[in-house]
Structure 1
Amino acid sequence: MKRLHRETNVSLAEVENLMKCTYYSQRKDINNGEELQTLLEEWPFLFQEVGMAVHFYELTGVSLKETFLNSLEKKGKRLLDFMRNTCADKSKRVLQAVTKLQILRGQLQGCSEDVKDMVLLLLSYFDEREENLFHHVEQTCLGHEIQMESLPVTPCIIVCGSSCYSSTRFMLAVDRKVVNDNIPTFISAICLMFGSYYCLNIHYPVDLCSTLEFLQRCCFNFNPEKGTKVETKKNKKQLSVNPRVLTLIADLSDHEWRETC
């Protein structure tokens, strides 16, 4: 795989097969706490879309990107309508976000633009800072030129451009290190970011826990009955499901029911 990673024309089927065959060794290194740089060197495809998809599926039984796209097709438009209308009417913060996104988006249309709206509105709804998930750099910026100390420790998407709507390239950073410097679409970037939390045994940070858990439960259809991905804090009770996420899910379901009546 190290040799294949240096080549330009790589067979995706071959990479998928090799990732499946070496899954046990990958998990062993990750669970043993190997340094991120070591993982990058030993398992370079783990941080690429094809490799992470295989590892995530072997780990969870969920098809990362396929599940996300299927969920968007079924729920995406209803969720956006609910956020833009019902939530915007009740929350000044969401209303301001809707107005700002309309200006940034302009005449752009398409699934990828809808996903950008959805994620940014979820951050606004849950009152979680965009800077904790997205880091903006110049359009032509290279991975080694980024000031790493300005990045969050947890997985984040580096946006190469003034906004998600103007960017034609994204990067993924983990533990203040760029692990993938050429992600062509926002949807791929979201899937890689989310997959990193599971494949690398990383807890959701408290300041992003609601947005990430909503994506987990409603977009990636990953709903464990017990446990939580949120980092634990001393002397604080941990709930299996975030109450704010439950509230949004319930309100969205009620909205959908009223719309069909």
Structure 2
Amino acid sequence: MDEHGVEKRESIKSNLLRMSGRRSAKLLVIVSEDDSRKLLLPDGIPESVDELVEKVREACGLKGKFRLQYQDKDFGDVFVNLTNTGELQSLCTLKIIPLPDEESFTVQTNDGTQSNDDTLSSFGSGDTDDTIILSPPGSETVSTRNQQWPKEFNIPRFSYDTELQLERGNSLFKANGTRLTVAPKMKSDILEKICDEIYKYKSYPSSANFCEVSEALIKKHPCLAEKGSFNGCYGWTQRFKMKMGNLRTQLKGLGCPEFLANSLKTKASDNAFPAKNVKRPKRGEANHIPSVPAGVSSENLETERLALLKEVKKRNNACTIREKMTKTFALRRREVVENQPSVQELQERWPALFQQEEINAEFLRITTLPLQSRFLASLDRQSSQLLQVIRSKGGVLREKTKDTIKVMDQSLDIDIRRECLLKCLIMYLGEDASCLIKEYQADQREEAEREFEKTTMAVFVIRESDALSHALDISIVIDGVEVLNKLPSVACACTMMIGLIYALNLKYPEGLKYTFEAFQKILMDIENKQMSRRVQNLSSKLQE
């Protein structure tokens, strides 16, 4: 065999070895707000981003320019631009971001039709990297938070002399196990710097949060481990708690609104005890009661609110409404949390708050996380495992869910399948799906409207006939008031209800508390360190 033939054979052999070393991969691709698809890669994840883009384009029937983003685990599953496929693993989530181009961006749907980029323009407000600004120019405040509590707490750098002592102490500890004797000045520096870092994420950290911080401190500086403590950091945990309490007292004296709301002078009752009417974040609200921007008075914000009432009546005015809603965020949150007005009063004073795009935007301002895309992507990603868990149950649950699962198996519509999966989830958690999703036929519309007045919180669905038929109308009713209607799907309605609960600072409905806890802690991945036993059991089975 000639030299050229040998080289060709070796090239083919090396390519076969390289291909055989790759493992097949599955990726979830979020094409639009209500369109997520599974991408199968038998040869594994491509080595270049361009090659992956072409595979996504081919699999989803895309036309026009777009870029890909992926969920970065290091930053709390925030979507980040993809520049290297080495960041990806099987079961990762990708999101398509259309780019401006002469050719309109189009998507081939499952039935072969084409949809243009108007669908993606409403893709979960705040989910792309250029659709929403938490703090526009002139509205920044030092108390405004822009991220959730991190997966791993990062210990900040201390003063130069403290860092020098810790460096020497860590060396001695590794050499002979000698622990460092912490001087009062050094201890004060550590507590002050770390509590400032804690405050960037939370004003009222939980005991679990304090434990995470103290464990991170000992992990980074093992010489600070304490003798006699079961984990070496119990004393640090107690010091952090006390220091944060002192910090809250200082900030309350400086007029910080999230602490003033809990002072005795501002309580509703004249003889209120300190623990009564406490207003603090309970569901991962990063910006529960933000401060008014520097140089802006409450009177200025009220003027903006009145101007906003006029802007809402104009057409094609989303950008102006978004800007004014962001400017008046502090005024609105203080009103919602401290005054606790009724839903009807809020509709009159803040009508823009009850628009689908603004609910997404408000949720992002409060939690720093996208709402609709995160919920739907998580539901789609966990759908197969969730369905497997539900199917594995027998007895009463199997009897209750068999009709819903039958409808799900018969339908190819992603909205119907999501709706059925949510109903099964509610029943799995031992709650009544009809308490959340109330279904009526077209000739029962008047009966449904009469039911509005008796409803605390529910999604009303008007259908033509059977469960497989397209919904004529989907609306959300809270405290007897219809706050949203003509929603595209039941899954979308559930996300909007979550957003409204946060935006209006409402409690979870008593008969659906496990359902909304699962929505928050499993699907949205917010404050998932502590769960009820029922939700924890489901979460564990989904991770098996």
* Alignment of 1:115 onto 2:418: yes
Q: AA paired with 1:137?
A: Y
Q: How far apart, in 2, do the equivalents of 1:171 and 1:81 lie? A: 30
**Residue 460 (structure 2) pairs with residue 158 (structure 1):** yes
Q: Cα RMSD over matched residues?
A: 2.5
User: Given the alignment of the two structures, is residue 172 of structure 1 paired with residue 476 of structure 2, yes or no?
Assistant: yes
Q: How does 1:197-212 map to 2 (within 5 A)?
A: 197-212=501-516
| Structure 2 CA distance for partners of 1:163 and 1:175, relative to 1, 3 Å | farther
User: Residues 453 and 479 of structure 2 are in contact (CA less than 8 Å); yes or no, is this contact kept in structure 1?
Assistant: no
**1:165, distance to aligned residue in structure 2 (A):** 4.3
C-alpha separation in 2, matches of 1:168 and 1:204: 27
Q: 2:399 aligns with which of 75, 96, 100?
A: 96
- Output the TM-score relative to the length of structure 2: 0.40
Q: Are 1:244 and 2:525 counterparts?
A: no
Q: Which residue of 1 aligns with 2:329?
A: 23
Partner residue, 1:230: none
2:319 counterpart of 1:13: yes
Which whole-Å deviations, capped at 9, do the CAs of 1:43-80 have from their partners, x for residues lacking one? Answer: 11212211111111111111110211221342223222
For residues 111-150 of structure 1, the aligned pairs below 5 Å read 111-139=414-442, 141=445, 145-150=449-454
Q: 1:207 to 1:27 in 2, by over 3 A?
A: same
SS at match of 1:179: strand
For the pair 1:80 / 2:387, whether they are aligned, the reply is yes
Kept after mapping to 2: 8 A contact 1:217/1:223: yes
Where 1:160 maps in the other structure, the secondary structure is: strand
Please give the alpha-carbon distance, in whole angstroms, between the structure 2 residues aligned to 1:143 and 1:23: 38
**What residue identity is the alignment partner of 2:429?**
F
Equivalences for 1:211-222 in 2 at 5 Å? 211-222=515-526
Farther-moved stretch of structure 1 (115-124 vs 14-23): 14-23
Asked whether the 8 Å contact 2:453–2:481 carries over to 1, the reply is: no
- Name the CA distance, whole Å, in 2 between partners of 1:201 and 1:114: 30
Task: Please say which structure displays the higher CA radius of gyration.
Answer: 2
Q: Give unpaired runs (5+ residues) of structure 2.
A: 1-307
User: Partners in 2 of 1:78 and 1:144 — Cα distance?
Assistant: 35
The answer as to whether partners of 1:52 and 1:195 remain within 8 angstroms in 2 is yes
CA distance in 1, matches of 2:467, 2:329: 33
2:309 alignment counterpart: 2
Paired residues of 1:93 and 1:124 also in contact (CA < 8 A)? no
Where do 1:249-260 residues align within 5 Å?
A: 249-254=539-544
Q: Does the 8 Å contact 1:168/1:184 carry over to 2?
A: no
Deviates more, 1:50-59 or 1:133-142: 133-142
Change in CA separation of 1:212 and 1:165 when aligned onto 2, cut-off 3 Å = farther
Out of 369, 374, 377, the position equivalent to 1:70 is 377
The one-letter code matched in structure 1 to 2:351 is P
- Does the CA contact (< 8 Å) of 2:378 and 2:523 recur in 1? yes
Post-superposition CA distance 1:93-150 (Å, at most 9, x none): 3312332114445732133222212211112112211232122334373799433343
Residue 11 of structure 1, CA deviation: 3.6
**Residue 351 of structure 2 corresponds to residue 44 of structure 1:** yes
1:210, 1:244 within 8 Å by CA — same for their partners in 2? yes
Change (3 A) 1:144 1:121: closer
Deviation of 1:17 (Å): 2.3
Structure 2 residue aligned with 1:188: 492
Check the 8 A contact 1:136/1:163 in 2, yes or no: no
The CA deviation at 1:172 is 0.7
| Matched pairs, number | 233
| Structure 1 residues 13 and 28: alpha-carbon distance in aligned structure 2, compared to 1, 3 A threshold | same
Matched, 1:33 2:340: yes
The answer on 1:58 being equivalent to 2:351 is no
Residues 186 and 127 (structure 1 numbering): CA distance in 2 closer, same or farther, change over 3 Å? same
| Alpha carbons 1:142, 1:181 under 8 Å: kept | no
Gaps of 5+ in 1: 226-239, 255-261
Instruction: Report which of the two has the higher share of helix.
Output: 1
Structure with the bigger RCO (C-alpha within 8 Å, sep 6+) is 1
Change (3 A) 1:30 1:100: same
